Structure formats: C-alpha cells, structure tokens
Structure 1
Amino acid sequence: FPLPCRGRIPNFLGAEIAAEKLRQLEEWKSARVIFVNPDSPQRKVRENALKDGKILLMASPRLKRGFIMLDPRKVCGREYFASTIKGALELGTAIEVKDLSKPDLIVEGSVAVDVEGHRLGKGGGYGDLEISLIKRFFGDIPVATTVHDIQVVEMVPHEAKDERVSIIVTPTRVIRIDL
C-alpha cells in the first residue's frame, strides 16, 4: 500500500474517492495544466488529469530527475500506466522548472494537514520545495491536498517557510482555507 509507511505520504482507503471529489471542483475543471506530486495516494489524481485532457506536471521522486511533463494526447489509452512513477518516467518528458507550463492547480500529498492549511510531508522538504519553485516562477497558484479524514488534525507544527494548502479534499468533504 506501499509498505513500509515511514518516510512516505501514506496511501489511504478512499484515495480514489478523494480524487473524484477533487475532480468536481471548479479549480480542477478550469485547469489546463496541473502539477501533482508523485506519491501513491495521488496516483488516481494524476490519471484523472490525463483522462480529462490536462497537461500533467510532476516531480520525479526526490527531484532526482527534475520535473516530468506528460501530454495527454501522447498517452491516450495508457493513462493508468502514465500515472505511475515508472510510466511517467517512460512516457513523459524531462523538463526544467524554468521550461514548465504554468500550472493552474498544484496537488500535493500530506501526512497530515490542519484546517489552517499547514501540511506535514514526509520530512524531506520536497513538497515545500516543489511548491515554492513553481510559485517563484509563476506566482500564486491554488494548492490542494487529498487526504483521509483522519489526516485532518487540529494543528500541524510549522515554520514560516512552510508552504500551505488552500484546499483540503477528503473522501467525505472539501475544506477551503482563505490564505
């Protein structure tokens, strides 16, 4: 699911439901380009982006190979495979952040998130780095996270440099944060 859980964004029962709920939001519907983290719980989010004809941007794991761009026209019929890390590396195009198309929406995974939009990642700082790099080049962009309801907590420890999310999507609800 995958195991071990330590050092990962945890997968959860209902991840596909949360992905479908995200798909119903206006931010998703109006987006032409979507950036999604490469973790397991957001695999369905990536597949949906491709099926909906959106350009999918993602970071390679731990940014070792930089960013990857997937054109939905080039992966037609192979969206599931393309939404996996292996598939994205095989079917996508490596691209530098300066050459990315401006994303209309960013989707990041979280270990936990609070109702003020503070998120806890795996601990490596890669999620915050991905968001801050994109915002540095393109300005303010809505940031969503898909998590299980039990991952929404009262308070997440945070620092001023930590990036916040403006939309939390769980299998049962959508929480909007006014940043």
Structure 2
Amino acid sequence: MPDIDQAKMALRETVWRRLVDARVVPPDSYGKIPSFDGADAATERLAELAAWRTASTVKANPDNAQLSVRVRALEDGKLLYMAVPKMATLEPFFLLDPTALSVSATEVADKKSTAQTAQRVGVDAMRPIDIVVCGSVAVNRSGARLGKGAGYSDLEVALLIEAGLVTDETVIVAPVHRLQVIGDEIPETRHDFSVDVILTPDEAIECGNRRRPDGLVWADLTADKIAAIPALRARQR
C-alpha cells in the first residue's frame, strides 16, 4: 500500500503542476480537486449524454470544480445528493430537492449554502443513484481515476454500493480538463472505482473495463479511519 500511495501521489503532483503551469486552474490548486477552465463546457457535454437526460437522481461531490454540474442537475429537475465534506456526520449526504428550493439553484448548490440550509440524509433515506459525478485530479482512458488522496469519494461510492443505491445501472462520470486525462497507468486498490465516461470541454470519452468494489472493504480500513467517519462506525461489523 505505501508503494501504491507514493505512485498515486507522484501522478497527482505531475498533473497539478501541469495544470498550474498551463494556467488553466487557480494557482492554489495543489492538494485540491481543481476547478478548471472550461468546466461549464464539460457540464454541457454531460448534459448531452442519454444517461443524463433519463436520470432522476445525481450524486456529486462538494468541490467547486463540480459547481456547474450541481446547478445543472437542479435546473434540470434532478434530485441531487451532495456528499458532506469528509463524511463528517452520521448522515453523510445533503439532499437538494429541485421542487423545494427557496433560492436559485446557483445559490443553493454552492457548498457553503448547502451546508447551512440542506437536509442531511443517511443511506437508508436515499433513492437509488442514476449518475455519480466524481471530482478527479487525474483519469486515464481505461477509466482509472485519482482523487486528491483522502479517499472519501471511494468510501462514499462503496457505502452506496453496499446499500444497493449504486448499481450496475449507475453511470459514473468525471468532468475534467483535457490535461487531466493522462496516458499513465494508475495503480488501484480494492476500494478504487473506475469511471464510465470522462467529460472534457472538448469530448466525451467512453471508458471500458468497469471496476467497482462490491461494497466497503473493511479489511482495508484502519481503525482511525472508521473512528473518524460516523457512518462507518454505525455499520461496522
């Protein structure tokens, strides 16, 4: 695991440097899921997918890079689940219902506004997810991806798989800048999932070799990680 972690971090560092040097992300993007030039165009690519048009539920991360996706989901009338940062509460997702908004979709989809106003829900109160939109630092064309290294996206998806809410019918997508699509092999652990479609401002890339865990891989979770995430503590076997 340490060797895999080091290899992943080296790839992240390379991509962060490439993005900052190209001036297509904010200069403080190191260590983050980066906002990128053309994010709105990548969202338009997403909205063109048949899977998006038929979806009624979307799960997204709270990163600024996915703000336009969250706004578009609400504007298109889709029920939106947004991860609570660091899965820090027993109910680790925010629920945003487009039929019950008291302010604009742009305002409510901002992570600060969501944290102040949205209802928190646990997996037992959620509907099956049609599309998962995952923030990524890097992806390759086989669908392997890298987040920023904390592992929360992987745990969120594993938790939703275990609860039967992410299924074989769920489509997982990654909106990124073209410079985040790399040719390198990305090492993976048992909790890592692949994406089905990569969306850049210029193209939609269909990925093969779908890989997803069957659920939470308890043997790979440290006692400290379980202790820090209430939803895991509650489900610990």
TM-score band by shorter chain is over 0.9
Distance in 2 (alpha carbons) for counterparts of 1:2 and 1:77? 28
Displacement of 1:91 after TM fit?
3.0
Residue 103 of structure 1 is matched in structure 2 by 129
Letter in 2 for 1:15: A
Residue 40 of structure 1 is matched in structure 2 by 64
| Structure showing the higher helix proportion among its residues | 2
Residue 113 of structure 1 is matched in structure 2 by 139
After TM superposition, list the pairs within 5 Å mapping 1:141-156 onto structure 2: 141-154=170-183, 155-156=185-186
What are structure 1's unaligned runs of at least 5 residues?
none
The structure-2 alpha-carbon separation of the partners of 1:159 and 1:20, relative to structure 1 and needing over 3 Å to count, comes to same
Residue 167 of structure 1 is matched in structure 2 by 197
Q: Determine whether 1:18 maps to 2:18.
A: no
Q: Is the contact made by 1:75 and 1:91 (CA closer than 8 Å) also made in structure 2?
A: no
The structure-2 alpha-carbon separation of the partners of 1:98 and 1:7, relative to structure 1 and needing over 3 Å to count, comes to farther
SS at match of 1:22: helix
| Structure showing the higher strand proportion among its residues | 1
SS at match of 1:58: strand
Greater displacement, 160-169 / 146-155: 160-169
What are structure 2's unaligned runs of at least 5 residues?
1-24, 211-237
For residues 109-151 of structure 1, give each alpha carbon's deviation from its aligned partner in whole angstroms, at most 9, with x where no partner exists.
1000011111000100011111111122222321001000010
Q: Is the contact made by 1:70 and 1:91 (CA closer than 8 Å) also made in structure 2?
A: no
Q: Is the contact made by 1:60 and 1:85 (CA closer than 8 Å) also made in structure 2?
A: no
Q: Is the contact made by 2:26 and 2:36 (CA closer than 8 Å) also made in structure 1?
A: no
Distance in 2 (alpha carbons) for counterparts of 1:13 and 1:34? 23
TM-score w.r.t. length of structure 1: 0.94
TM-score w.r.t. length of structure 2: 0.72
Distance in 1 (alpha carbons) for counterparts of 2:100 and 2:116? 12
SS at match of 1:35: strand
Letter in 2 for 1:47: V
The aligned length equals 179
Q: Is the contact made by 2:155 and 2:191 (CA closer than 8 Å) also made in structure 1?
A: no
Q: Is the contact made by 2:75 and 2:105 (CA closer than 8 Å) also made in structure 1?
A: yes
Greater displacement, 2-11 / 45-54: 2-11
Greater displacement, 157-166 / 99-108: 157-166
Distance in 2 (alpha carbons) for counterparts of 1:62 and 1:159? 20
Distance in 1 (alpha carbons) for counterparts of 2:125 and 2:53? 24
Residue 109 of structure 2 is matched in structure 1 by 83
SS at match of 2:163: helix
Q: Is the contact made by 1:36 and 1:46 (CA closer than 8 Å) also made in structure 2?
A: yes
